[in-house]
C-alpha cells in the first residue's frame, strides 16, 4: 500500500493528502474543478512550507513532500491506488454516484473509504456490487494534527476490510476507534448537538458568544469553545451534520438551530469565509 488516492480537494482532502504524504505515501488528489485544484495545490504547499519554516523538515524533505502529492482531474487514475478515501461534500446522491464509479474502476483489492461525518456507509454502498470493501474512515479536521480516526464499517463491509483500514490508520500515526455505522457515527453525535445548543443559547441571548465559549473552556476544560469550534469546522458542515442526524434518527431533538441556518444562507461559514460567529 504505497499509493493513496484522495477524492476531493477541499479542506479535508488537502489535510488527508498532507497526512499521507508525511507518512511516506505517494498521494493522488482527484479534483474535477480547476479552481479547486489550484487552491488545493496552494494550501498543501503552504502546509509543507510551514513545516520547513519551523525546522521540522529540511529543504530536500520539503521538495520531496511536494513531489509526493499530485493533483489531478481524472478520477480514473485512482484505479492504481491501494486505498481510496472520498472527501467530497456531504451529499448522498453525489457520494453514491462517486462510489459507483470507483467500484467499477478499481480492482477488487482496493479499499474504498468515505470520510463522511453524517451519512451511513450502508446507505452509500447499498446498490454496489463491491459492498464488502467499502467502509467509513472519518478523519477529524485538521487530519494531520488530530489523533482520532473513526472506522465505521457498513452492514456488508468485510472483516478483512476493517482490519486493513485499522492498520492503515495506525500506519498514519492515528488512533482508530471502531464505531457502529449510524448517522453521525459517535463523535459528531456527541459533539454537534453541543455546538447546536450553544448556538441556541446565543440566539436566545443567554450569554454572549465570548462567554459561551469561555464557560466551556473554563468550566468544561475544553481547549476551544463550541462556537469557535463551529467556525473551524464550517457552519455549512455543522448544518449538514445536524440535518443528517435529524433525518437519520427522525428525531426533532436534532433540529438545527435557525441561527446556524441563517448564517449559512448569508454566506457566513466560519474561518473559511473569514466570518462566522467570529471575524477572522
Please identify which residue in the block is written with the cell numbers 521538495: 63
Catalytic residue among 122, 138, 196, 228: 138
Active site residue 188: yes
Q: Which of 31, 43, 90, 150 is catalytic?
A: 150
Is residue 170 within 8 A of residue 176, CB to CB? The reply is: yes
C-alpha–C-alpha distance, residues 250 and 248, integer Å: 6
Give, as one character, the DSSP assignment of residue 270. B
Q: Which of 114, 115, 117, 122 is catalytic?
A: 117
Q: Is 115 a catalytic residue?
A: no
Q: Which helix (H) or strand (E) holds 87?
A: none
- String of DSSP letters for 153-209: E-TT--HHHHHHHHHHHHHTT-EEEE----TTTTHHHHHHHHHHHHHHHHHTTSS-H
Q: Can 196 be counted among the known catalytic residues?
A: no
The answer to whether 273 touches 280, Cβ cutoff 8 Å, is no
**CA pseudo-torsion sign 48, 54, 59, 61:** negative
- State the catalytic residue, choosing from 114, 115, 122, 188: 188
**C-alpha span between 86 and 99 (Å, rounded):** 8
Cell numbers standing for residue 223: 481547549
Positions annotated as catalytic residues are: 117, 138, 150, 188
Amino acid at each position: 500500500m504505497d499509493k493513496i488516492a484522495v477524492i476531493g480537494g477541499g479542506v479535508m482532502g488537502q489535510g488527508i493528502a498532507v497526512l499521507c504524504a508525511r507518512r511516506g505515501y505517494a498521494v493522488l488528489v482527484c479534483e474535477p474543478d480547476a479552481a479547486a485544484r489550484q487552491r488545493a495545490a496552494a494550501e498543501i504547499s503552504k502546509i509543507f512550507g510551514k513545516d520547513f519554516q519551523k525546522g521540522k523538515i529540511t529543504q530536500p524533505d520539503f521538495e520531496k513532500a511536494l513531489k509526493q502529492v499530485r493533483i489531478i482531474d481524472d478520477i480514473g487514475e485512482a484505479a492504481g491506488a491501494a486505498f481510496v478515501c472520498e472527501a467530497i461534500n456531504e451529499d448522498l446522491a453525489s457520494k453514491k454516484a462517486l462510489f459507483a464509479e470507483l467500484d467499477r474502476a478499481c480492482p477488487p483489492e482496493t479499499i474504498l473509504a468515505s470520510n463522511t461525518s453524517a451519512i451511513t456507509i450502508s446507505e452509500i454502498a447499498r446498490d454496489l456490487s463491491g459492498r464488502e470493501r467499502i467502509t467509513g474512515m472519518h478523519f477529524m479536521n485538521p487530519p494531520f494534527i488530530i489523533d482520532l480516526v473513526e472506522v465505521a464499517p457498513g452492514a456488508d463491509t468485510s472483516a478483512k476490510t476493517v482490519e486493513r483500514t485499522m492498520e492503515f490508520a495506525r500506519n498514519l500515526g492515528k488512533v482508530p476507534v471502531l464505531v457502529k455505522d449510524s448517522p453521525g457515527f459517535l463523535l459528531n453525535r456527541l459533539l454537534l448537538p453541543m455546538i447546536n445548543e450553544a448556538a441556541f443559547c446565543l440566539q436566545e441571548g443567554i450569554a454572549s458568544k465570548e462567554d459561551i465559549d469561555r464557560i466551556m473552556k473554563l468550566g468544561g476544560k475544553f481547549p476551544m469553545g463550541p462556537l469557535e469550534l463551529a467556525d473551524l469546522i464550517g457552519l455549512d458542515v455543522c448544518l449538514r451534520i445536524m440535518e443528517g442526524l435529524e433525518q437519520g434518527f427522525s428525531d426533532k431533538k436534532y433540529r438545527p438551530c435557525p441561527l446556524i441556518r441563517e448564517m449559512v444562507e448569508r454566506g457566513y461559514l466560519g474561518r473559511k469565509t473569514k466570518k462566522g460567529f467570529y471575524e477572522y
